[in-house]
């Protein structure tokens, strides 16, 4: 999933310039709120508004398979790449309530070597017709708005342990929902093998390169946090993401430790995990390579292919680390890196993020 065409390079250059514009236009929080930015149990003071902008870049050339979570390279020299620009706002309503909204603009792409698997009768006439009818190209690119997130947080305690309850809604914005490599039907391996002659053709490639899960979700999350006068803080959170349209429900959990070293510098590290609680419906059949190192010329028919039933379920374990700077009294800039260390039905991605936020008062 990467850009190699001239159009894609121009697009990435444009988006990079846009990221710089966003970063210079948006400014972020005071030193009082540096811990709050990373530890959600501390809500914003009343009549406080924080406007945020964040750029995320992710890259992967390996994946954890959907069936057993085994790590394998993307077949056919496949590469995944994504960029997202997220704008958001947090507003302190009272001492006990704050609300938040965010919306990303995303570009997600996948690129791999083309190949010929099954020849059609129509394609055997001439060499040109043969390649015209039988070359399968797995390259996919999606661009547009991702999932809209709306959230409200309610303070439940402040001392000695700060805590808050968050209610979060995530809604797709009309992008194409993910499917199996050859569509949503069939959704069993046996049916795929029986219908391979009809399914495996260039016009039937769907894949799952989309901007999100394509389902609505509701997620209650409990945040707990503790901070000291020396600037150390620890934060933990856990919640269940309930998803509709037959998608499996997920548990999400996070633990973060941080230290404020000066009035303008903070470092943190933590863990983040997602775990499927209830298995969801199949969205089709995907194919993985028995030997992902083989070139396209070594594929023939269904040899070296391993059909896998896929759904929207996933497991993942990430290790985010980051730095927060305060160049101005009302500005925070956050740099972070979050690799996926293990999982199932996810890419082994490496995500680099830059976030800028500005705080202001309504009154």
The pLDDT mean for the chain works out to 82
Contact 129, 123 (CB under 8 A): yes
What whole-number distance in Å separates Cα of residue 118 and Cα of residue 177? 27
Q: Mean pLDDT over residues 309-314, rounded?
A: 89
Q: Mean pLDDT over residues 109-124, rounded?
A: 69
**Per-residue pLDDT band at 123 (split at 50, 70, 90):** very low
Contact 327, 37 (CB under 8 A): no
Q: What is the pTM of this model?
A: 0.82
What whole-number distance in Å separates Cα of residue 136 and Cα of residue 154? 52
Give the list of residues 6+ apart from residue 157 with CB closer than 8 angstroms, or none: 163
Minimal CA–CA distance to 168: which of 87, 95, 223, 213?
Answer: 223
Q: Mean pLDDT over residues 319-334, rounded?
A: 94
Q: Which residues of 279-300 are buried (b: 16+ CB within 10 A; e: fewer)?
A: ebebbbbbbbbeebeeebeebe
The pLDDT value given to residue 132: 53
pLDDT in tens, 261-283: 998 999 999 999 999 999 999 88
HSE toward the beta carbon, residue 247, CA cutoff 13 A: 20
pLDDT in tens, 225-255: 998 889 999 999 999 999 999 999 999 999 9
Least confident of 30-34, 65-69, 260-264: 30-34
SS3 for 202? helix
The pLDDT value given to residue 20: 43
Q: For the chain, what is the total number of helices (H) and then of strands (E)?
A: 5, 21
Could you identify the residue written with the tokens 């290790």?
319
What whole-number distance in Å separates Cα of residue 222 and Cα of residue 205? 41
Q: Which residues of 47-64 are buried (b: 16+ CB within 10 A; e: fewer)?
A: ebebbbbbbbbbbbbebb
pLDDT in tens, 343-362: 999 999 999 999 999 999 88
The pLDDT value given to residue 88: 97
pLDDT in tens, 155-205: 999 888 999 999 999 999 999 888 877 767 777 777 777 766 666 666 666
My answer on whether omega of the bond before 160 falls inside 30° of 0, hence cis, is: yes
Q: Quick check: 115 pLDDT over 80?
A: no
The pLDDT value given to residue 290: 82
């Amino acid at each position: 999933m990467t850009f190699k065409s001239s159009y894609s390079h121009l697009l990435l250059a444009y988006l990079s310039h846009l990221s710089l514009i966003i970063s210079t236009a948006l400014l972020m929080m005071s030193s009082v709120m540096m811990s709050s930015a990373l530890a959600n149990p501390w809500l914003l003071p009343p009549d406080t508004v924080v406007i945020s902008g964040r750029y995320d870049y992710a890259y992967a050339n390996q994946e954890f398979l959907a069936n057993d979570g085994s790590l394998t390279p993307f077949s056919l020299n496949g590469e995944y790449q994504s960029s997202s620009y997220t704008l958001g706002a947090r507003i302190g309503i009272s001492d006990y309530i704050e609300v938040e909204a965010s919306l990303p603009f995303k570009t997600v792409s996948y690129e791999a070597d083309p190949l010929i698997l099954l020849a059609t009768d129509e394609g055997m006439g001439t060499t040109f017709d043969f390649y015209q009818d039988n070359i399968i190209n797995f390259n996919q690119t999606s661009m547009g708005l991702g999932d809209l997130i709306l959230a409200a947080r309610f303070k439940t305690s402040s001392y000695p342990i700060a805590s808050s309850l968050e209610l979060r809604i995530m809604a797709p914005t009309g992008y194409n929902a993910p499917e199996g490599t050859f569509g949503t039907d069939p959704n069993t391996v046996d049916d795929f093998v029986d219908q391979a002659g009809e399914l495996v053709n260039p016009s039937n490639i769907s894949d799952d390169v989309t901007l999100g899960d394509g389902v609505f979700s509701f997620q209650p999350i409990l945040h707990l946090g503790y901070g000291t006068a020396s600037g150390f803080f620890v934060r933990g959170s856990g919640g269940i993401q309930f998803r509709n349209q037959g998608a499996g429900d997920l548990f999400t959990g996070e633990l973060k430790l941080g230290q404020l070293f000066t009035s303008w510098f903070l470092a943190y590290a933590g863990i983040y995990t997602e775990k499927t609680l209830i298995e969801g419906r199949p969205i089709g059949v995907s194919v993985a390579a028995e030997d992902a190192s083989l070139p396209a010329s070594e594929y023939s028919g269904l040899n070296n292919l391993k059909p896998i039933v896929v759904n929207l379920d996933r497991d993942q374990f990430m290790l985010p680390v980051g730095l927060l700077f305060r160049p101005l009294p009302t500005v925070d800039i956050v740099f972070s890196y979050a690799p996926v260390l293990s999982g199932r039905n996810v890419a082994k991605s490496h995500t680099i993020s830059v976030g800028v936020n500005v705080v202001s008062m309504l009154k």
